[in-house]
Chains A and B, each alone.
Chain A
């Protein structure tokens, strides 16, 4: 038990907003300066505070991705990005979601499930298409098995290109959606 506490204490807070804090390792301190999370996060939080009473709920839907995009969406929740602190929360049901974060070219086998997920999401709702695949079909394009871009199946409000987009790209994408 004490081991856990000790490790938590010595690891310190690595979340990159708090750049003032002394870090557990030099290596980490070096890294954090390279990223721009701090500034981006402030903007994101201000937007979410203003438009969503401090809390934005996202439902992620993989509609056919290669799973690369999912890895980077997951990374948003690691200690460095910790997107929850800006009020962004990933939820388990489309019924609870403000935003659908959709990856992949939409495979034909997922088409109906994606439409249904969209319908199950309460209004007002927004859709962000993630990755080159979500944006335009990417490497997979349109075929007998793939509908290509997310916009070919449900209305899309914003697009985050990249293969896969980095966590920072994703944060920027969410911000872009609400700052226009």
Chain B
């Protein structure tokens, strides 16, 4: 490093990430305005004046090691706005620019950030915004339900669609081709041989070894963003709880947080604690289930049934204590609609004790099982560098050295009052994703205890007050799969005019394409399970 660089480096270190970003944008001649106070508090916000500078902005972000969190667009009549959320060292920053409504185009961020690739294709399909320099010109969310000249998220596009007849099969998608001696292609899906969500996988293999995997998703695209428009706050919370059924609490939490921030509404502390409790319960249930399923995919039926048994007990607790096995619709705008009584707290404490004992016993068995080790260790390896490039989240990231956890790095209520430990490993294989889940499970149990112990008295909800038109809010929470982002804008009469949820699956699905390479075809199911992306959460 030469002297000036060193100096710049020192300055950078001593500066707050957003200020450093501003400085570099100015150095590169990008015209921008940092809006203060930000309309998306606590997230910082800046507008980039010229859409032509959009690529330069990404290049600065890349140089400074920001993580590309999410991107979404809005139809503003004569213009389209495109917003991108970045994160560095726990600081979130939203950038926005506008492009002409007649011929909308912007420089792509995908050459700088892999995680921008599919979201930009989504925006292209849904809004008709072209991203110049994007490495992949193919459609993504659009199959055959609407034609290439119409864009569902433009206001002019009717909610009920334009082609009422039968939807033809999507048979001409231009998959990547791998050719050569001995290479063969295996198409799988969208309907899979099990009780799972639909999606298409195109494998290229030589013998048993996988050369390439291409995911073709969006089969369960249900138009969530479009049908959110015009809903009341309460109705949006219900919809958010169905973005991905297994993350119903996480998405409802993020959406409500976004709406409350837009409305400037302070949620009672007790409500926040109960929300935290519900999220952690969801984490326990899902991690148990994933651990069961990973074992099942390597034919270790014993553990599948054991973990599945423990999970069922927690589902029944949920039903008994909160009235719903998966905890759907318990989080509402302004708070929650279920309280925690002394009895429920006692029952949960008992269940925790029981689960800990069972887990310790099971894990010894697990540890002593060499055939299990044989299948899980080194399978589906995701390199630390790849995880970083992809911005991998949750247990996928944390098994490959990415420690980011919203609860710890950008804490929100109730986590700003709790101690969150984040287990991180570097092995990056299926075994590691199993063990990180296991460790996170223990952390969740500890958090539940803390939440119950410190649970403040008071109301569980505050009455909902609609914000004025145009108010916007951003909610970021750590769901069981990782960081969830939820963007909300209000229109007239307190009705929603824009909702964009970013499930961690959107970021993690590309990791699967990487980590299966060089593995044998029969190991694909367990690799897939170890990542366990949500199709519904991805496809929206």
Residues of chain A having any CB pair with chain B under 8 Å: 1, 3-4, 7-8, 11, 14, 25, 27-28, 31, 34, 60-75, 77-80, 90, 92-94, 104-105, 107-113, 115-117, 138-147, 163-164, 166
Contact = CB atoms under 8 A, between A and B. Distances in A.
The 5 nearest A-B residue pairs measured at CB: A68-B245, A144-B161, A145-B223, A108-B145, A92-B193
Contacts of B302: 4, 7-8
A174 B243 CA distance: 27
Given A25-B354, A67-B245, A142-B160, A109 B194 contact: no
B321 interface: no
A61 B193 CA distance: 9
B246 to A, nearest CB: 6
A80 B315 CA distance: 12
B220 A68 contact: no
Given A60-B195, A116-B169, A144-B158, 15 more contacts: A61-B191, A67-B536, A68-B245, A70-B245, A71-B326, A79-B308, A104-B220, A108-B144, A109-B218, A140-B227, A145-B223, A146-B223, A147-B167, A163-B328, A166-B319
Contact of B305 (A28, A79, A142): A79
A104 B197 CA distance: 10
B337 interface: no
Grouping DSSP codes into helix (H, G, I), strand (E, B) and loop, the B interface class, with mixed when no group exceeds half, is: loop
Contact of A69 (B243, B245, B354, B365): B245
Contact of B326 (A14, A68, A140, A145): A68
Contacts of A146: 222-223
Contacts of A142: 160
A7 B362 contact: yes
Interface hub of B145, B152, B194, B222 (most chain A Cβ within 10 A)? B222
A90 B194 CA distance: 8
Given A109-B167, A141-B227, A64 B246 contact: no
A163 B361 CA distance: 35
6 contacts: A67-B534, A70-B195, A109-B167, A110-B198, A112-B169, A116-B169
B159 interface: yes
A61 B191 CA distance: 7
A74 B305 CA distance: 12
A174 to B, nearest CB: 15
B36 interface: no
Interface string B151-177: 010000111111000111110000000
Interface in B199-258: 218-224, 226-227, 238-239, 242-246, 248
Contact of B221 (A34, A65, A109): A109
Contacts of B227: 140-141, 143
A67 B222 contact: no
B197 A67 contact: yes
Nearest to B159: A143
B145 A72 contact: no
Contacts of B289: 71, 74
B190 interface: yes
B27 interface: no
Interface hub of A25, A145, A146 (most chain B Cβ within 10 A)? A145
B296 to A, nearest CB: 10
Contacts of A75: 312, 315
Contact of B246 (A11, A14, A71, A110): A71
Interface of B: 143-146, 152, 157-162, 166-170, 190-191, 193-198, 218-224, 226-227, 238-239, 242-246, 248, 289, 302, 305-306, 308-309, 311-313, 315-316, 319, 325-326, 328, 350-351, 354, 361-362, 364-365, 368-369, 534-536, 539
Contacts of B248: 66, 68
Contacts of A1: 368
A43 B337 CA distance: 37
A44 to B, nearest CB: 19
Contacts of B196: 62, 70
Nearest to B158: A144
Contact of B316 (A31, A60, A140, A145): A31
A7 B361 contact: yes
Nearest to A74: B195
A73 B325 CA distance: 13
Given A68-B328, A141-B227, A144-B226, A110 B312 contact: no
Contacts of B170: 109, 112
B521 to A, nearest CB: 16
A110 B220 contact: yes
Nearest to B300: A4
Nearest to A117: B191
Given A112-B168, A112-B169, A79 B309 contact: yes
A10 B527 CA distance: 32
A44 B364 CA distance: 39
A77 to B, nearest CB: 8
Contacts of B159: 143-144
B497 to A, nearest CB: 17
A27 B350 contact: yes
Interface hub of A4, A11, A166 (most chain B Cβ within 10 A)? A4
B158 to A, nearest CB: 7
A108 B144 CA distance: 8
A7 B319 CA distance: 27
Contacts of B305: 78-79
A4 B191 contact: no
A155 to B, nearest CB: 15
A139 B536 contact: no
A110 B219 contact: yes
A105 B166 CA distance: 15
Interface hub of B152, B223, B362, B369 (most chain A Cβ within 10 A)? B223
Contacts of A93: 193
